[in-house]
Structure 1
Amino acid sequence: MSATDTDRTGAENLLRGVMPVLEVPFTADGDLDPDSFDRMARHVLDTGVSAVMFPGFASEFHKLDDTERELLTHRLLDLTGARPDVAAVISIPDHATLLAVRRATAAVEAGADAINLLPPHFLGPSAEEVRRHVTAVLAAVAPVPVILQYAPAQTGSSFTADGLRRLAEENPNLVAVKIETALPGRLAEDLSGGTPALRSFVGYAGLQLADGLRRGITGVQPGCSFTEVYQRIWELWHGGAPDEALHLHTRLVPHLGYWMQEVELIIAVEKLISYRRGLIDNPYCRHPARGLDSHEIAGVDRFLAEFDEILTPALNGITP
């Protein structure tokens, strides 16, 4: 799907359900591996999702140079451009407002269907400066839909439901918020019940997905190494089998609870899962990174064994 040949309402309608954040594969020497990226992205797109996002924390965006980001962004847009069933959400984590506006505008011109905006956070910008930054990007890409990423633990940014609604009232292309906080369901419910109503995605690897489902969230934005598990939960819940959905999520929680103690830990785990499944050629994470010890690697193997039936469509069986 391309933002240049599809109306914005159509793109916005695809921003729902499971929206994986794509990881970035590297070689054993730490060089970019575009072919693995393509293979992994194709697999994720074929799991039935209606949107994917790149780059995010799960993509190690902070360890990519500008050329690498642009290369992978365009490779993703080439893949999604021929698929009207999938939206490409390009994330803009640039700290400088000038650069964020340039990057967001360029992404839309290249075919991005929506923008994910991470507010600036280095060195503690004031609330007014953060708002000015967000407003500038929203105005620059209007009417392309924008998802605002709210991750206070990682960024220190602070928003209230009323403040987010005021932003949406002034900028109608702000259509959703990705919530990565404690108790995201409460904020999601507050946002959906106000005027204008704002849709919500839960992040944080979907650890609080069960509560979000009960409160009517629009979707979840996890990593991409076991997208099928999230897809199964989502389909069960919306297919009339909520108890089965919650049971499956309960099985997932002990794994996520450990992995989400550190961002670098979940990144390393997800890349090892993708490698074990044959989605990428190497689980390398650029340094500084969080290495996995023998117990954590064994935990990944237990996870793959436990969810093997759901993950069967992938290329299981490859081991390091």
Structure 2
Amino acid sequence: MLQGILPVLPTPFLPDGAIDRAGMDRIVDFALACGADGVVFPGFASEVDELTAEERTELLRLVVARVAGRVPVVAGASAGTVEEAVAHSRAAMAVGIDTVMIQAPRSVGAGAEAVAGFYAAIAQQVPGLTIVLQNAPAPRGSDLSPETILGIVRGNPAIAYVKEETLPSGGPISAILAGAPPHLRGVIGGGGARYIVEEYRRGACGAMPAVELTDMHVALDRHFRAGAVEQARDLYMRTLPLLVIQANFRMRFTKHVLVRRGVLQHAGVRARLPQLDSHDLEEIDAWLARVADLLTATP
């Protein structure tokens, strides 16, 4: 069962743009030290579009080795074609991962029949695969309706989870869970945990935020599951200023915070993202100082 906080791990780079393998190890160690219930790699937050197929496979193998079976690893296998998604899924299976997260490409459209055919072809070609259907908002995703998702899931026993990221996500989460077939084990929240309390109240079994605030998100998750909803809300309020900034700068923000927390030595990215200037950095650092008591994990 996938549940709780399952951060999407970033890809660390050296100053020359090469993969920072030692940094990848430290990121995994940090996520586990924070109490993560699982990890996801690669995803959008991993700059997956900037990685070669060889880099994806190498890093995934490294992540699996570092985790060493302590928590589940979910492999990202989204791609523009069935053939590429199948190749990514087989690469995950080859390193011991049987759960993959896949977003159907926009080229398939948003019709139930076409999207269902995309997922069915993958499941048929990779027996034993467990699929997390990722439903992302436009322009990155296809904004599939709950009715469309339920139609796809009902016809494909390999789809065990849905990661619901359309906005607002609350209604779709409730609708999917209300109509879920027995083989659907849960719905996972997205949106960088910016809506996590609402998603949890709707019945989401977990969340997949970025990794830099995992200890804060784990604390929130544990309070919510213990019935201490007001304490969870308090933690949520303290994360929000940082998550609002993260929404603009994405992986630059994540890596800056990881540098500040001593996890990474370099904050470089390959993706084309807005630059952080001195004012941005000062603002991030000021908000980090305000939640220093919640940043409990050390590298």
Quickly name the TM-score band, shorter chain normalised.
over 0.9
The answer as to 2:9 corresponding to 1:22 is yes
Distance 1:306 1:138 in 2: 47
Q: Aligned-pair distance for 1:148? A: 0.8
The residue that corresponds to 1:64 in the other structure is 51
Q: Greater shift after overlay, 163-172 or 272-281?
A: 163-172
| Contact 1:87–1:113 (8 Å) recurs in 2 | no
Question: Please, what is the CA RMSD of the aligned residues?
Answer: 1.8
Q: Aligned-pair distance for 1:283? A: 0.4
The residue that corresponds to 2:87 in the other structure is 102
Q: Deviations over 1:103-152 (max 9, x none)?
A: 2122113201411012112x574634433222212333343321111112
The residue that corresponds to 2:276 in the other structure is 292
Give runs of aligned pairs for residues 5-154 of structure 1, distance below 5 A.
Answer: 13=1, 15-80=2-67, 82-83=68-69, 85-121=70-106, 125=109, 127=111, 128-154=113-139
Amino acid at match of 1:224: V
Amino acid at match of 2:64: L
Give runs of aligned pairs for residues 176-215 of structure 1, distance below 5 A.
Answer: 176-196=161-181, 198=184, 199-215=186-202
Distance 2:237 2:229 in 1: 12
TM-score (norm 1): 0.87
Q: Which has the higher contact order (CA 8 A, sep 6+)?
A: 2
Q: Aligned-pair distance for 1:36? A: 0.4
| 1:155 aligned counterpart, secondary structure | coil
| Contact 1:47–1:228 (8 Å) recurs in 2 | yes
Q: Deviations over 1:30-81 (max 9, x none)?
A: 111011001111221232222110011110001111111111011112123x
Q: Aligned to 2:286, which of 292, 298, 302? A: 302
| Contact 2:98–2:128 (8 Å) recurs in 1 | no
Q: Greater shift after overlay, 294-303 or 28-37?
A: 294-303
The residue that corresponds to 1:10 in the other structure is none
Mind listing any 5+ residue stretches in structure 2 that lack a counterpart? Answer: none
Equivalent residues, number: 296
| Contact 1:139–1:171 (8 Å) recurs in 2 | no
The residue that corresponds to 1:318 in the other structure is none
| Contact 1:150–1:177 (8 Å) recurs in 2 | yes
Distance 1:156 1:40 in 2: 27
Distance 1:287 1:177 in 2: 26
Q: Aligned to 2:258, which of 270, 274, 293? A: 274
The residue that corresponds to 2:242 in the other structure is 255
| Contact 1:120–1:133 (8 Å) recurs in 2 | no
Distance 1:46 1:173 in 2: 31
| 1:224 aligned counterpart, secondary structure | coil
Distance 1:65 1:309, change over 3 A: same
The residue that corresponds to 1:224 in the other structure is 211
Q: Aligned-pair distance for 1:295? A: 2.0
Distance 2:291 2:10 in 1: 20
Q: Aligned to 1:240, which of 221, 227, 246? A: 227
Amino acid at match of 1:286: R
Q: Aligned-pair distance for 1:300? A: 1.7
Distance 2:251 2:272 in 1: 12
Q: Deviations over 1:226-247 (max 9, x none)?
A: 1001001001111231101001
| Contact 1:184–1:212 (8 Å) recurs in 2 | yes
Q: Aligned to 2:147, which of 159, 162, 177? A: 162
Distance 1:42 1:141, change over 3 A: farther
Distance 1:215 1:97 in 2: 32
Mind listing any 5+ residue stretches in structure 1 that lack a counterpart? Answer: 1-12, 316-320
Distance 2:147 2:126 in 1: 23
| Contact 2:86–2:125 (8 Å) recurs in 1 | yes
Amino acid at match of 1:223: A
| 1:99 aligned counterpart, secondary structure | helix
